[in-house]
Amino acid sequence: MTTPATATSPTFDTTFASLPERFYSYTQPVSVTLAAPIISNPILAKELGIDLQWLASDEALQVLVGNQTAMGSAPMAQAYAGHQFGSFNPQLGDGRAHLLGEIVAPDGQRFDLQLKGSGPTPYSRRGDGRSPLGPVIREYLLSEAMAALQVPTTRSLAAIATGETVMRQSPAPGAVLTRIAPSHIRVGSFEYFAMQGDEKGVKSLADYCLKRHFPHLIDAPQPYLLLLNTVIERQAKLIAQWQGFGFIHGVMNTDNMLICGATVDYGPCAFMDQFDPDKVFSSIDRQGRYRYNQQPGIGQWNLTRLAQALLPLLHTDSEQALADAQQALDNYVKHYGAAYQAIMSNKLGISQPQEGDQALTEELFAIMAEHKIDFTLGFRYLVDQIATPTEHVALGAAFIAPQAFVVWQQQWQQRLAQDPQSQVERYQQMKRANPAYIARNHQVELAIRAAEDQGDYEPFYALLKILQAPYDYQSELITYVLAPTPDEMVKQTFCGT
């Protein structure tokens, strides 16, 4: 392929380069000789203002695999640190990723365009900087599934096969993912400078975040405290959404928590099938630190590390700075509680929450845990119970409620009788909150195995199409809505680094 004469190449900017060079290292991706396109995302490209003809061109293929540098691009790897499973690592950084630069979308928003699996960087720590095909497919599916669920997330613009073999537990074909994010600045980015006693670096990074993400706060009194409070609120709401969809991130290290409030790093993550509040999928989370019911608390723990890094900026008086930080962290509980209550009210069709709703929800989860009820299908079944439109398609035999669940429904129906909204309004509310399709582990694994073992991408394409419309159940696509059989169940997920 060649670039069509009418195609317009994107122009990159890199405001991150305005920061001192100790924040990053300029480094070029390592070229490959047998690059081949797997998929691109025209819907996202249109949102970003990227020319679709260019995206389909050979020039785009070469740029997005790392063989060619686009206009305005100055590839770099960002420096950051992080608490990993509670232990501090003073230097992590982008070990297999290159930030090509930033694209300004038609609405004026700025987005990072980053390649993952594009070769080693100064932060690779003896790693090869490459990615097997499997993790690229996993991130593409999971990030686009989350976007369709309207959960803040990084996005996937393209996946490209490198034609190389990557050695992990066994040989695997290599690939490069093009990841889009509002930015890649992490809690660990602030820790990197704070732990070195580099207050100037912390301030420079905070000023950059204010300018890029929260310009309305720059001229406000105590802008750094407002920055902390805003990040806390965004993260609380994000994690509440994870809980509402049964999503388990798997590696909630501080280097995987973005300041902009988007989900990042789809390594050993998973959506739950059978509900288990202590569920862990990640093969490296041996102590269950990041299990499902621990995620809200870990969010606050991570944000405490951010507050510590920002302390010198919060107030000239150290005691007042500490008090301000503590108040902000206390607000996390309020933000999370309010967001979680709203999410659960939507899932249960309640428009005006009452005091007893929490007990009703807790009883539901206790029944789901005891009877190993599928998280997604259990809630979607409740949508069936209040459905009124003639076009609604019920789960039918795809989910059979146990008797304890049916008994609980009577309490739930009594509660709904006290709520003022109409049945049609309730149906629409619940349908928007309870997907029929999620990125189920066994379906993702089938797509990965077909691609890695047979070079067959059709299962990947088919699953992606379904995940892009998660609320519209179609009986002919029942395979994708079904919970896994015991033989199909995936009990562990892996990060792929």
Confidence of residue 228 (pLDDT cuts 50, 70, 90): very high
Q: What pLDDT is attached to residue 190?
A: 98
Residues 205, 334, single domain; the answer is yes
In a domain, 411, yes or no: no
More confident residue, 2 or 413: 413
Is residue 361 within 8 A of residue 344, CB to CB? The reply is yes
CA dihedral 258, 260, 265, 269 (to 10 degrees): 100
- Whether the per-residue pLDDT at 33 is higher than 80: the answer is yes
Catalytic position from the list 94, 255, 265, 324: 255
pLDDT digits (tens, 9 = 90+) for 209-222: 999 999 999 999 99
Residues 177 and 201 in one domain: no
Return left, alpha or beta for 87; rule: phi > 0 is left, psi -120 to 50 is alpha, else beta. beta
Are residues 318 and 286 part of one domain?
yes
Segment 444-447 long-range contacts (CB within 8 Å, at least 24 positions apart): 444/137, 444/138, 444/141, 444/142, 444/490, 445/490, 447/137, 447/141
Do 205 and 132 share a domain, yes or no? no
Same domain, 150 and 212: no
Q: Is 475 left (phi over 0), alpha (psi -120 to 50) or beta?
A: alpha
Residue predicted with more confidence, 319 or 5? 319
pLDDT computed for residue 496 by the predictor: 65
Report d(CA 97, CA 109) in Å as an integer.
22
Which of 329, 346, 363 is the last residue in one of the domains?
A: 346
Say what the pLDDT of residue 391 is. Answer: 86
Give the DSSP H/E element, type plus range, for residue 172. strand 171-181
Residue at which a domain ends, from 346, 362, 384: 346
CB 201, CB 309: distance < 8 Å? no
Evaluate whether residue 278 is within a structural domain. yes
How many domains does the chain divide into? Answer: 2
Query: Do 301 and 176 share a structural domain?
Result: no
pLDDT(189) > 90: yes
pLDDT at residue 2 greater than cutoff 70: no
Task: Give residue 66's region: left, alpha or beta (phi > 0; psi -120 to 50).
Answer: left
Q: What is the pLDDT of residues 65-124, one digit of tens each?
A: 999 999 899 999 999 999 999 999 999 999 999 999 999 999 999 999 999 999 999 999
Residue labelled with tokens 């990640």: 282
pLDDT at 18 over 80: yes
Q: Which residues contact 395 (CB under 8 A, 6 or more apart)?
A: 377, 380, 381, 384, 436, 473, 481
Q: Same domain for 175 and 262?
A: no
Give the list of residues 6+ apart from residue 464 with CB closer than 8 angstroms, or none: 39, 140, 141, 144
Helix H or strand E segment including 104: strand 97-104
357 is catalytic: no
Q: pLDDT exceeding 70 applies to what percent of the chain?
A: 98
pTM for this prediction: 0.96
Mean pLDDT along residues 30-43 = 97
Per-residue pLDDT at 4: 56
The phi, psi pair for 116, rounded to 5°, reads: -115, 130
Q: Which residues pair with 166 in a beta bridge?
A: 172
pLDDT over 90 at 25, yes or no: yes
Tens of pLDDT along 235-255?
A: 999 999 999 999 999 999 999
Boundary of a domain, candidates 319, 346, 373: 346
The pLDDT of residue 3 is 54
Report the share of the chain in percent with pLDDT over 90. Answer: 91
302 occurs within a structural domain: yes
pLDDT tier, 200 (very low <50, low <70, confident <90, very high otherwise): very high
Pair (34, 131) in one structural domain = yes
Q: Is 363 exposed, middle or buried (0-12, 13-18, 19+ CB in 10 A)?
A: middle
Asked if residue 209 and residue 146 are part of one domain, the reply reads no
- Structural domain including 200 reads 188-346
**pLDDT for position 497:** 59
The mean pLDDT value of the chain amounts to: 95
φ, ψ of residue 263 to 5 degrees: the values are -70, 135
How far apart CA 187 and CA 81 sit, in angstroms, is: 9
For residue 388, how many other CB atoms are within 10 A of its CB?
A: 12
pLDDT at 5 over 60: no
Round to whole Å and give the CA distance between 497 and 486. Answer: 28
